[in-house]
Amino acid sequence: MVQFIAFPAALAYNWFASKIGTKKAVLIAIGGYSIITLLAYFMTHKTHFYMLAALIGLFQGGIQALSRSLYSRLVPKGKEGEFFGFYNMLGKFAAVIGPVLMGWVTLVTGNVRLGILSILVLFISGGFLLNKVDFEKGEELAEQFSGE
């Protein structure tokens, strides 16, 4: 279900990003994921699960495509393999850190809802770090390193 929603939503999200800017669109998607995480905390019925899956589909394809596009602006020509290798490595870390954090919080508190809520820390810190990135300066630096 998520994938069926994510594909057309990614196309719509691309249009949305063209209107407000890629960085802002990614930050909004992180905000969307944060809201979805809060809603997951209050989930009590099977219907809620499907509603959350649909909401995730609205942001998943867009944030994946836009984040790669945004990151590529910082990559010097000729260094794509190194930079995207690093990018993919961070993705693998995220695939481990999120479940470990959720499991640890659930184990310590005995409450799976708090485990789910703990993921919010990752979204908030990621949004905070992204907000600090100066993409104009990053593009200038990428251009300088491409010329070497």
Identify the pLDDT of residue 101: 97
Identify the pLDDT of residue 147: 61
Identify the pLDDT of residue 40: 95
The string of pLDDT tens digits covering residues 30-58 is 999 999 999 999 999 999 999 999 999 99
Could you state, in order of their start, the residue ranges of all structural domains in the chain? 2-146
Mean residue pLDDT of the chain comes to 92
Angle at 97 between CA 94 and CA 103, to 5 degrees: 140
Can you tell me the distance from the alpha carbon of 24 to that of 131, in angstroms, rounded to the nearest whole number?
9
Q: How much is the average pLDDT of 83-99?
A: 91
Can you tell me the distance from the alpha carbon of 13 to that of 75, in angstroms, rounded to the nearest whole number?
23
Can you tell me the distance from the alpha carbon of 15 to that of 46, in angstroms, rounded to the nearest whole number?
32
**Looking at residue 134, what DSSP letter applies?**
-
Q: How much is the average pLDDT of 109-132?
A: 96
